[in-house]
Structure 1
Amino acid sequence: MRDASCIRSWLWLLLAASAQVSGQQPQERPVFTCGGILSGESGLIGSEGFPGVYPPNSKCTWKITVPEGKVVVLYFRFLDLESDNLCRYDFVDVYNGHTNGQRIGRFCGTFRPGALVSNSNKMLVQMISDANTAGNGFIAMFSAAEPNERGDQYCGGRLQRPTGSFKTPNWPDRDYPVGVTCLWHIIAPKNQVIEVKFEKFDVEQDNYCRYDYVAVFNGGEINDAKRIGKYCGDRPPAPIVSERNELLIQFLSDLSLTADGFIGHYKFRPKKLPTTTVLPITTTSPAPTSSRPTVALCQQKCRRIGTLESNYCSSNFVLAGTVITTMTKGGSLLATVSIINVYKEGNLAIQQAGKNMSTKITVVCKQCPLIRRGLNYIIMGQVDEDGRGKITPNSFIMNFKMKNQKILNALKNKRC
């Protein structure tokens, strides 16, 4: 925690500089209270009692409104809250709109994000503290900006034109900055979908995309169940097409390495309607020599063929994990698996929050093979183009027991 007298001096200099820019004389140091309603071209918000230690067990909400037709840009000038990898205890949330808005980001510790941009003329800031460790809180400045003329130092917003582009701050002159959070919410007319292509792409490389990344979601909110993919490295993702008329693109950089960044383009296109009945997914088989119909995948008998050893090399990925969430979608089951150990990763997309790692899998036939939430499994399968594990009736799945680890570790050290 910083020395209080230093913070007070710094705060006074900040206020004096802000007043000088607007042609006013600095007044007495403001008293920051718990929340408030603010409007106008610009302003200042701070945690209760700033620069003193903020109180415990508090929930403070600030509603910001700038003139109609503009967007809100929020800069954190100082941040000092209880530190936690997942920001579970003391944190500041920033939302689009004033009620039931889309969350732009959650922040704690001394991590100071880059400028945050709303997709309308309204923004909500909420700070929550628990009963324990505290800090000096935060101070932030907001200002109004034109939706399409916000400069190179910040990014994000609502995109509703039939075609357009989005890019990282500083593109193409220099690397994107550290501590950036960007959200582009693309909205097409109801009867259209959105196609996105990345022209150039260079985001800090990591096998699990834990540090800097781009995530794309169907719909208008950050929701793991609707995530299309999570990307990093220097290879552009394949073209992406939304399921419906909304798409959310999130870019985040941490406080360490940066890279060139990216530029992407989007366009609206008509939603294609099927002209014939869609046939069920079928197994790959030689060309039929008779008129016998192909057996649909989900009608196969569910059976596990072979052993751990015989299935290891033919699988794209092999892991042991606990099924923590399941959700049915059509005839498939979407599951989140908390990873106990990865023996063969392949191109499987793995997320990490603190020390916990997880991945997404799709069971093509929701009851074949059958998996249940809360149980531990060895899972072997293929990986689709978005990095999600794909489990078919022929995939190898069995309950995980500690005695299996010796066999799996031996297989991991062998070459297929």
Structure 2
Amino acid sequence: LCLFLLPLCAMSMLSGWVESPGYPRGYPPDASLNWSRCAPPGHTLALTLTHLDMEDSDGCENDALEIFADGKQIALQCGEMSFEDLDSTVNPSLLSSVEGCLSLSFRSDYSNTKRHTGFRGFYMLQDFDECEEDPDNGCTQFCHNYIGGYLCSCRLGYHLDTDGHTCTVSCTEDLSGTLRGVISSPSRPGPYAEHAHCSYILSVEDNLELLLHFTGEFDVEQGPDGQCVDTLMVETSSGTQGPFCGRVPPSPPLRTGSHHARILFNSDGQGSNNGFTIHYRTTTKTCGGIVTSNSTLAPQQSEYHQGDTVTVTCDLGSVLNTGDKEYESTCQRTGEWSPVHRCERE
């Protein structure tokens, strides 16, 4: 039958009695007993002494019962004690850790002046309630105990992460192709969710640039040292802007310089900050007022639009690798100049 009920049979083997040699008639001289049992996952092992009648001596030097939990001595007994005294003073401490072991060692010396019946104890598995007794169980929202283990669950709107403990929110969104819109922290306008790992992807035509405007309250957790506890970042092919945090948003508009951006928001497991709201839009890409270093442009403007053509003249002491001093370049739809030739120092 145990072949079909192996887990239950294994559990039943971890309960029973342990007693001194010859109990209850009395233990002989020079007797010894070594005993050990270990608990399976999600359990502890408890020992309850129901009887103790041994030779008494100073420090239990003659006859002794030593009990260990996970290799550490937790009791040294000898003499005589009633069950009531055992149950109130000794038994509460006879408990292993989760998946830990209990062991005992009994010994008697070469002679006793009178007969002693010895000791008897009952050992059994106990379910360990990780939810109530283990503050480090890892569940960030709800914890549910069952015999041999526990599981975590989440409030409505959250989902359990792959670690089986962390509750997080689904806040990854691909907004490619939209020219304008709004991105907010999870649960806005209320405090944002803990353990959030959000990624918002923006992608438009390559002749457009994405602009970000922060509106309303900006409140992303920042530490007393000024370092960001929770982080908001903007990634583009040319680099990363941020992290942004605190109560002062980036000055509008935040120019990405790109037609493709990823907005990343991460929060830790605590705090009650209200987050952010971003309005994004696009504008036609323009070319900057520099084509290459060591040169000037004509006509000179702060920015140029698609199709604008300028004359690039190398500064005094610089020439093109062709030997010329100037050439023409045109602003492209992608916001880049073409062609671009470098003015090298002579």
Q: TM-score, normalised by structure 1?
A: 0.31
The structure that has the greater radius of gyration is 2
Please report the TM-score for the alignment, with normalisation by the length of structure 2.
Answer: 0.37
